[in-house]
Amino acid sequence: MTIKLIQEKYLNDLNDIYPREEINSFFYMLCQSYLNKNRLDIALEPAFELTAHSEAAFLKALKALKKEYPIQYIIGKTEFMELPFEVNDQVLIPRPETEELISWIIASHLEDEPPSVLDIGTGSGCIAIVLAKQLSKSKIDAIDVSEQALEVAKRNAARNNIDINFIKTDILDGKELTNIYDIIVSNPPYVRESEKQQMHTNVLKYEPDLALFVSDNDPLLYYRHIAKLALNGLRPKGSLYFEINQYLGKDLQDLLETLGFEKIELKKDIYGADRMIRAVKN
């Protein structure tokens, strides 16, 4: 089968699920991954004949896309803040909103002495790795409860030539942090069970529940635990950063005030939703 014919098959078979532009985007990502050919190559070589192996790979990917399996999991990688990351269904696919959180941290601390940083719930390691790249000479620890996620994060650190201390622990177990930090950052589970119906199938069915969802009965569970740990785990004037549920910003702000944090700042993302918060230990 030629590359043009397989592209037409993608457009026809996926037409009822995705917009045409998105289908083409998927197809070109697969061409780059499977054939090392970009969009221009495909345009110049429409009669390029696929090998049996390549054709099978494209058809397998097409079958997965019909089930709305994320393209990043199909090719096993993504790009985040211009860095390459391995991803699989044991970790969340990094989001643009998280880029905004990281950019805020970098802009706020770029002129500081190299900070010590703790990333709680590191997943793919994207937050810790980008901060290590941008805040040079910083010392970074990264925690996750999932051994499988930590293995992905370790490979991503190696891929990006970054040295990070990865730690397996359950942040809800109540233990004090063993080190003291200048910055603690977390993108914890914050989607309430009642919000599942608002989510796309590719997220709801395939990304890890452990990293996404929290009970409606206690939606600030992780924030409360992490903030309490930060009371002892941050240096005086140290900063605590969270990515947050847009509907719970005021509730989290009140919680942080009650715990005694200062200079609490709620920040919106590019879509105008409350998406991140910073608090300073007094």
Give me the residue spans of the domains in the chain. 3-67, 80-280
Q: Are 241 and 184 in contact (CB under 8 A)?
A: yes
Q: Which CATH superfamily is domain 80-280 in?
A: Vaccinia Virus protein VP39 (3.40.50.150)
Is 69 within 8 Å of 202 (Cβ atoms)? yes
What pLDDT shows up at residue 195? Answer: 93
Please say whether the beta carbons of 85 and 110 come within 8 A. Answer: no
Secondary structure class of 237 (helix, strand, coil): strand
3-state SS class at 246: coil
Measured in whole angstroms, the distance separating CA 242 from the mean position of its chain's CA atoms is: 13
| pLDDT on residue 176 | 87
Q: Mean pLDDT in each 10-residue stretch from start to end of the chain (282 residues)? A: 97 97 97 96 96 98 97 97 97 96 97 96 98 96 97 98 96 89 97 89 90 94 96 97 96 97 97 97 94
Q: Give pLDDT, residue 19.
A: 96
pTM of the full structure: 0.93
Q: At what angle do helices 20-35 and 52-66 cross, to 10 degrees?
A: 140
